[in-house]
Structure 1
Amino acid sequence: MLALLCSVSCAATPAPTPPPAKAGSAQPHAAVPPSNQRPAAPVNQGCLKTMPKSWRQAIDAGRVPAMSGDGRIRPTAVGPDGRALFGELAAGDPARIDGATKKEIVRYDFVSRTWSPIYAMPDAATDQQVDGVFDGRRMVFALQHSLTSYDDWSVHVWDQQTNEARVLDQDAGFRGPLIYVDAAAGKAVWSKAVGKNIVEVHLYDLAASRDQVIARGQIGTAWIVGDLVIWPQIVGPGSQAVFQAASLTSGNRVETPAGLSKTGPLTQIAASGSTLVWIEGNFRAIRAWRIGWPEPRTVFDSGRDRAVDDVNVAGDIVSWHSLEPGQPVYLGDMRTGSCTQVTERNGYTVSNKDAMVVIYPESKSSFGAFVVRPSRLPPLPEK
């Protein structure tokens, strides 16, 4: 994925073109649960030089087309079992940042291998989908409406049963965390700036059309982890952000799980299913915590060699890209502590429970992508 996920208010963040998606989307209680064993020793000696044949075959089998007619498609969301895939289609001049003449959110049909539209963006030149989560019935997505500011946005939901979309919320005119959404079990969450360094966590019941503010303060992006909503928050002057939690069902505040009560500086955060991952400190170490674990574990440590960015997770697979020349994407296996490079340069991932999509640039104006199911990938061999 692709984006700096601020642990607290992004008041000092500049406003370039918004990133394509959030790193990770969550659903509770995976039908194919990931391994409950603790991660292997952290990877810190470099990744496998050669990707196993079984992984290469899974990647090749999961490739999806990134063009539809004259439109270029950038995948933005995946369903919890990998059988639903969504993207943003843009047609027009790819050399201009505002050169699109048509933008739509589209859904991929794995049988016909074609894309079909579900939502047309009102202003193709400036509207962009920056996030999306499909919970099996509803697609919750965030749009930004400016090429120069992160603070002009709206949150929507599309229902596949009615094929209708509606607006859930829009910005209040204040700079805050980048607008990302998470959704699971008929609920959606997002963080909204409502004042200077004041952010609210919203919990929205999609069936009842009921919005609830469950937290307020110096808060970053909120995530669904199992049956909890978890977010980072600065709770005292001069302190670092710490995790806070609420019930996904009721919205009531609950005690932060013991395993998350003491962490180092939180740099980036992502979640999927029952697992929460984050980059801690100076972009060197990736930490993970899963419901039922007494404490978090380090799953990747780059040492002093290079930094990591854009962390994400699905099942036992963690993704990141390395801040080395080309910034390739890596996938790490928490079962064995091994990792492997999966793109030649650049790229990002989106995830949802037992599915991960790796998106990478094929050219200056087009993307390639493949979908993998972590539960079906054999463990990476230990290095």
Structure 2
Amino acid sequence: MLGPRLGPGDFCQVPRPDGWRAAAEQRRHPSPPGLDRRAVALGPDGSTVFAVETGRGRSELVRLATPGRPRRVIHTLDPTPSGRVAQYGSVRFDGRWLVYEVAHDAANPDDWEIHAWDSAADTRPFLFRRHDRTVPGPFLFVQAHGGRAAWTEGASRGGRTAVHVYDLAARADSVVRTGSLSPVFLAGDTLGWRSQTGPGRPPVVRAVSLRTGEPVRLPPVIAALRDTAHVAGDGRTWAWVSTDYQILYAWRPGWREPALVARAAEGEHIDQMELAGDLITWVGGRAVWAADLRGHSRTTLTPAYGGVVASGGSLLVTYAAAGPSKDPAQRGGTTSYVLRTPELAALPACPSWRAVPPPVRDPRDPAAEPGAATR
């Protein structure tokens, strides 16, 4: 595991500013009476939010109402043959295309599908991938960007996994890599994953262009990573979590070495890491967190355990509303809110932090050795 030494570049904890709390109140989506509303995806500008609403024996994937645009039901799940309500998995929206997973029977996790909905045409969703084999299939964690969906899929018991890219407009599927591969992540137009290169060898990070499938040269810091549990990037910022889910690191061009962003509290883990502008977010055991790269400081975003999704410069934060509330709709339900990161003032900087000067291009870099991304 590549990790930095503790030092002035590391992050410290600060209180959440009042301005951040006020921004959350302006775009809040509480659960309505009789339903549990869990917001699951949003558009890059934060104006479009999708949620799963569960109640009365069914579960619906909906686009929430906004001024001038009514609520829209995208998909409905009724009780399954086992008597349980089917579940939605990963849900992603690239600004036009909504891509979502469905597990049709909670008693059979291998019975999954992937659907897509074109918000521009506003036609019915369509099914474009189904796993109905009798062998276990891994979690998909489908991603969407620029009119394409991407995911990792198991082929057979003990067999190789495959990275799929699906062109949503052309309705064409392609396999861009096979092997012992992790779920995919997106860093702008770059599609990446962790790859096991041989027995007993630690996984390495590899990437291709989402549009062409051709290998992409990663920054040397990222190409050198070993034994990471999760990697995220947006084309400028990179972040990763240690294999034990205890330490979160970040790096940007111009930094001499990665910075230690956070350590998990005792008995907790770092999960659901996302990037939005200058913020890195993640879920801890008792709260959702955000780290601000502008001043190397971090703060909590929720009073309780929750979830977070990023899209462009927007964050969708969700948590279980607990304790007494004047609003009955929030008692025991789920509440969500949207943050637009360009509108947030920077968190107070850590006292020991010094601003990093603009990067100076190293003519010896752009990256790993030729072809490294394909191994």
How do residues 269-348 of structure 1 correspond to structure 2 at under 5 angstroms? 269-272=231-234, 275-289=237-251, 297-302=258-263, 307-310=268-271, 311-323=273-285, 327-348=286-307
Provide, for residues 351-376 of structure 1, a one-character-per-residue CA deviation record: whole Å limited to 9, x for no partner: 11111111000148510111001121
Q: Does the alignment pair 1:81 with 2:45?
A: yes
Once the two structures are superposed, residues 256-284 of structure 1 have per-residue CA deviations (whole angstroms, 9 ceiling, x without a partner) of 44331111421133455654432123323
**Separation in 1, partners of 2:349, 2:179:** 44
2:99 paired residue among 116, 140, 144: 140
Deviation at 1:213, TM superposition (A): 0.2
The answer to whether the 8 Å contact 1:266/1:280 transfers is yes
CA distance in 2, matches of 1:284, 1:224: 22
Alpha-carbon distance in structure 1 between the residues aligned to 2:254 and 2:189: 15
Which segments of 5 or more consecutive residues in structure 2 lack a partner in the other structure? 1-7, 323-330, 351-375
Question: For residues 123 and 208 of structure 2, what CA distance do their matches in structure 1 show?
Answer: 31
Post-superposition CA distance 1:57-92 (Å, at most 9, x none): 11111212322x633211110111101100111112
**Equivalences for residues 179-194 of structure 1 within 5 A:** 179-194=140-155
Alignment counterpart, residue 263 of structure 1, candidates 225, 243, 247: 225
Q: Deviations over 1:191-232 (max 9, x none)?
A: 111122521100111111110000111111112212211011
TM superposition shift of 1:252: 2.4
Query: Which residue of structure 2 aligns with residue 51 of structure 1?
Result: 16
Q: AA paired with 1:120?
A: T
Assess, with a 3 A threshold, how the Cα gap between structure 1 residues 295 and 180 changes in structure 2: closer, same or farther.
Answer: farther
**1:150·1:178 contact (CA, 8 Å) conserved in 2?**
no
Q: C-alpha distance in 2, partners of 1:209/1:300? A: 40
Deviations 1:95-135 (A, max 9, x none): xxxxxx12111001232696431222254633211111111
Give the SS at the match of 1:60: helix
Residue deviations 1:116-173, cap 9 Å, x none?
A: 3122225463321111111111101111223245422111101111322001112253
CA–CA distance in structure 2, aligned partners of residues 211 and 295 of structure 1: 40
Shift of 1:298: 2.6
Matched, 1:128 2:87: yes
Q: Quote the offset at 1:306 in angstroms.
A: 6.4
Q: 1:60 aligns with which of 16, 20, 25?
A: 25
AA partner of residue 10 (structure 2): P
User: Which residue is equivalent to 1:349?
Assistant: 308
Question: What CA distance in whole angstroms lies between the structure 1 residues aligned with 2:264 and 2:44?
Answer: 33
Match in the other structure for 1:24: none
Deviation of residue 307 (structure 1)? Answer: 4.5
Aligned to 2:364: none
Match of 2:335 in 1: 368
> AA paired with 2:63?
R
**Shift in alpha-carbon separation, 1:269–1:176, aligned structure 2, 3 A:** farther
* Aligned-partner Cα distance in 2 for 1:199–1:103: 31
Structure 1 counterpart SS, 2:64: strand
> Please, which of 173, 176, 195 is the counterpart of residue 214 of structure 1?
176
1:164 corresponds in structure 2 to 124
Gaps of 5+ in 1: 1-39, 93-100
Question: Normalising to structure 1: TM-score of the pair?
Answer: 0.78
- 1:286/1:301 contact within 8 Å kept: yes
Q: CA distance change for structure 1 residues 129 and 239 in 2, over 3 Å: closer, same or farther?
A: same
Give the Cα–Cα distance (whole angstroms) in 1 for the partners of residues 349 and 266 of structure 2.
Answer: 20
Mapped to 2, the partners of 1:334 and 1:299 lie a distance apart of 11
User: What is the RMSD of the two structures over their aligned residues, measured on CA atoms?
Assistant: 2.5
Cα contact 1:319–1:330 (8 A) shared by 2: yes
Q: Check whether the contact 2:192–2:206 (CA below 8 A) recurs between aligned residues.
A: yes
8 Å Cα contact 1:285/1:298 also seen in 2: no
Change (3 A) 1:177 1:287: farther
For 2:108 and 2:163, locate their aligned partners in 1 and report how far apart those are by CA, in whole Å.
Answer: 21
Question: 2:346 & 2:159 partners in 1: Cα distance?
Answer: 43
**Alpha-carbon contact 2:289-2:301 (below 8 Å) kept:** yes
257-266 or 135-144: bigger deviation = 257-266
Which residue does the alignment assign to 2:185? 223
Task: Compute the displacement of 1:316 (Å).
Answer: 1.3
> For residue 163 of structure 1, what is the amino acid of its counterpart?
T
Q: How far apart, CA to CA, are the structure 2 residues paired with 1:138 and 1:293?
A: 35
Letter in 1 for 2:299: T
Question: Structure 2: which amino acid aligns with 1:186?
Answer: G
Among all aligned residue pairs of Structure 1 and Structure 2, give the percentage whose two residues are the same amino acid. 27
1:340: Cα distance to partner?
Answer: 1.1
Q: Aligned partners of 1:201 and 1:229: how far apart in 2? A: 10
Larger radius of gyration: 2
Query: Are 1:202 and 2:170 counterparts?
Result: no
**Partner Cα separation in structure 2 for residue 134 and residue 118 of structure 1:** 13
Instruction: Check conservation: 1:272, 1:351, Cα contact below 8 A.
Output: no
1:332–1:127 distance in 2 versus 1, CA, 3 Å: same
The secondary structure found in structure 1 opposite 2:125 is strand
Q: CA–CA distance in 2 between the matches of 1:82 and 1:133?
A: 13
* CA 216–206 in structure 1, closer or farther in 2 if over 3 Å, else same: same
Post-superposition Cα deviations, 1:300-352, rounded to whole Å, max 9, x if no partner, equal: 132886654212221111112334xxx12211111111111122221110111
Which residue identity does 1:79 align to in structure 2?
G
